[in-house]
Amino acid sequence: MDKLVEKLKKIDKRWIYLLIFLSCILPFFPGFEFLNQEFSETKETIAFYDNINELKEGDAVFIDWAFDPTTQAELLPMAEQTLKQCFDKKLRVFIYFPFLTGISLGENALAKLQKEPGYEYIEEGVHYQNLGYLPLMTDMLLFSMYSDFKGTFGKEGKIFKGLNTFADIKYVMCFSGSSWPESYILLQRRFGFKMQVGVTAVIGPDYIPFLQTGQLQGMLFGLKGAAEYENIRVKAGSDKKFNRKANAGMASLTLSHLVMFMFIAIGNLIYLFEKKVKKI
Amino acid sequence: MKKEIPLLIGFFATIGWYLEFFMAGTFFENWKMFFTNGFKTVTIVGLLVGAFSVLRINFKRIKYNNDRWFSVYQLSLIGFMILLGVTRGVNPGTPFDAMFTFGFVPLDATVFSLLAFYVASASYRSFRIKSIESAFLLVAAIFIMLSKIPLGEAMWSKIPVIGEWIMDGPTSAGKRAILFGAYLGGLTMMIRIAFGLERSHISE
């Protein structure tokens, strides 16, 4: 027993890395379908969907694409589904990119969406507006002004009709893996817009107090939140074929968590065994 | 004057921004806009200084043979991306976009995903029940993790409920306390900068 414990204690890190790698990769291959368990939707996800669903045709929504490839595994499926739901509802979508490395990610997602059946009609300046990039914090200073929304971005067109300040935006939706959405929460008091967020699982707990106070009306929480959102949209009639990017990763998420539990358990067993031996 | 002028700028900028929040639509808005334009200028100059600094450091390395090939590689890539962007544009479908999609995106995502490996290794070596507090932490962490995977709900339908309670109750209470502390700290810092009591930003 001592030998085994000693061996486990000094296990090469590379074995741990290999197991984690396999737990992430293997569920994508046939034979691991049993990991695809059904799950229910949380109230935050349902609220996120319902809030967009309750908007009227032509209402303006502001999407803050505050993520880059580092967090795209969790946030890209959320942002894509949100865009689709907004286009389905015929809302005017304004997309803003506060991170330079997120711009191409967003533009590519929109270009890909325009090739998907049912969304070929989407056109910039008519259905959505790419508001481009402003350096961090400068954007918040400009957005906080009662200045002309068009003037801020120097754009013209029918899509801006009736939009003068942030107060004319019906909903702000921010996708981020950091505390960035808090900047909009600070603006919310001034302009009174409604807001919801899509965040990574790591940062999600930070936003729960804002959900409880009603400053946030909905939240997508990590990859599971994205998968729940996809499921709600599929139940509402969207094609499953084009709406299961987050669900495809759920088996991998499950197996990698199980491997993590195994590591925690083995680590603690070694610790308890050693403690017992020392006492003797 | 080297110290007085930055302190005065700090005073007027801070007071203007602060009062504008309570008196929106008044002349304080123009006051705030004036400093916002200054902020934009400083940010853009900062970007230029950053770009110049990257070039200077890499040229120095090349000159003194200090990791020369890394610098050559970095500068070539910077130059190549600029060339592609300027000559062929940056829209989807251009060579610049291809470099971003097939080069930058996987590399950036890979660096971040390394965290999973480090967390696994750390959980094996460090996540030990050494006290009552750590036992509570471990149990709470396991419930939260299980509530965030479909298997948790499949094992026991109450797991998501327990996970939600931990998040909405103890976690949220702790987070609120941290937020209150941070915002009160921010307010204190604002007052200290406005009245020149805090001078670290002018290297004092």
Q: What is the pLDDT of residues A120-173, one digit of tens each?
A: 999 888 889 888 777 666 677 667 666 656 566 556 666 777 777 788 889 999
Query: Is B139 touching A (CB cutoff 8 A)?
Result: no
Least confident of A60-69, A88-97, A162-171: A162-171
What's the confidence (pLDDT) of residue B140?
92
What's the confidence (pLDDT) of residue B115?
87
| Closest-approach residue (CA) in chain A for B127 | A264
**Quick one: tokens of A255?**
């197996």
Contact criterion met (CB < 8 Å) for A40 and B116: no
What is the extent of the structural domain holding A68? Answer: 43-249
Q: If you compute the radius of gyration of chain A from its CA atoms, what whole number of angstroms results?
A: 22
CB contacts, 8 Å: A137 with chain B = 39, 43
* Helix boundaries (H) for A89-155: 100-113, 138-143, 149-153
The 8-class DSSP code of residue A154 comes to: T
Q: Report percent pLDDT > 70 for chain A.
A: 91
Interface subset of A 220-239, CB within 8 angstroms of B? 221-222, 224
More confident site: B34 or B60? B60
**Quick one: tokens of B47?**
């970007």
Band of the pLDDT at B204, cuts 50, 70, 90? Answer: confident
Rounded mean pLDDT, B31-44 = 80
Contact criterion met (CB < 8 Å) for B124 and A263: yes
What's the confidence (pLDDT) of residue A53?
94
Chain A to chain B Cβ contacts (< 8 Å):
152
What's the confidence (pLDDT) of residue A145?
66
- Tell me how many domains chain A contains: 1
What's the confidence (pLDDT) of residue A217?
94
Query: Is A133 touching B (CB cutoff 8 A)?
Result: no
Supply the CATH number for residue A166's domain: 3.40.50
Instruction: Give domain status of residue A90, yes or no.
Output: yes
Average model confidence (pLDDT) across chain B = 87
Query: Is B43 touching A (CB cutoff 8 A)?
Result: yes
Q: Report percent pLDDT > 70 for chain B.
A: 99
Band of the pLDDT at B49, cuts 50, 70, 90? Answer: very high
The tens digit of pLDDT for each residue in B50-101 reads 999 999 999 988 888 777 888 999 999 999 999 999 998 888 888 988 888 8
Least confident of A107-116, A128-137, A175-184, B64-73: A128-137
The tens digit of pLDDT for each residue in B1-27 reads 778 888 888 888 888 878 877 877 677
**Quick one: tokens of A251?**
């088996």
Q: Nearest Cβ partner of A135 from B33, B43, B116?
A: B43
The 8-class DSSP code of residue A195 comes to: E
Please list the residues that pair with B202 across neighbouring strands. none
Query: Is A52 touching B (CB cutoff 8 A)?
Result: no
DSSP for A11-70 reads: --HHHHHHHHHHHHHGGGSTT-GGG----PPPHHHHHHHHHHHTSPTT-EEEEEEE--GG
How buried is A229 (Cβ within 10 angstroms: 0-12 exposed, 13-18 middle, 19+ buried)?
Answer: buried
Contact criterion met (CB < 8 Å) for A137 and B43: yes
Contact criterion met (CB < 8 Å) for B142 and A261: yes
Rounded mean pLDDT, B105-130 = 87
Residues A23 and A252 sit within 8 Å (Cβ to Cβ): yes
Interface subset of A 62-91, CB within 8 angstroms of B? 68-73
Q: Nearest Cβ partner of A250 from B97, B130, B150?
A: B150
Place of tokens 């990610």: A105
CB burial string A246-266: b at 16+ within 10 A, e below: bbebbbbbbbbbbbbeebbeb
What's the confidence (pLDDT) of residue B17?
79
Reported ipTM exceeds the 0.85 cut? no
The tens digit of pLDDT for each residue in A35-58 reads 888 888 999 999 999 999 999 998
Rounded distance between C-alpha atoms, residue A187 and residue A137, angstroms: 13
What's the confidence (pLDDT) of residue B194?
87
What's the confidence (pLDDT) of residue A207?
92
Rounded mean pLDDT, B135-149 = 90
Enumerate long-range contacts of B78-83, CB under 8 Å, 24 or more apart. Answer: B78/B54
What's the confidence (pLDDT) of residue A148?
58
CA distances from A24 to A20, A98, A171, A251 (A): 6, 30, 36, 9
Reply yes or no on whether the pLDDT at A11 is more than 90. no
Band of the pLDDT at A221, cuts 50, 70, 90? Answer: very high
DSSP for A83-100 reads: HHHHHHTT-EEEEEESSH
Average model confidence (pLDDT) across chain A = 87
CB contacts, 8 Å: A145 with chain B = 29, 32-33, 36
Reply yes or no on whether the pLDDT at A233 is more than 90. yes
What's the confidence (pLDDT) of residue A8?
82
Instruction: Give domain status of residue A226, yes or no.
Output: yes
Best residue in A21, A39, A185, A186 to probe B by mutation, most B CBs within 10 Å? A39
Element (H, E) at A162: none
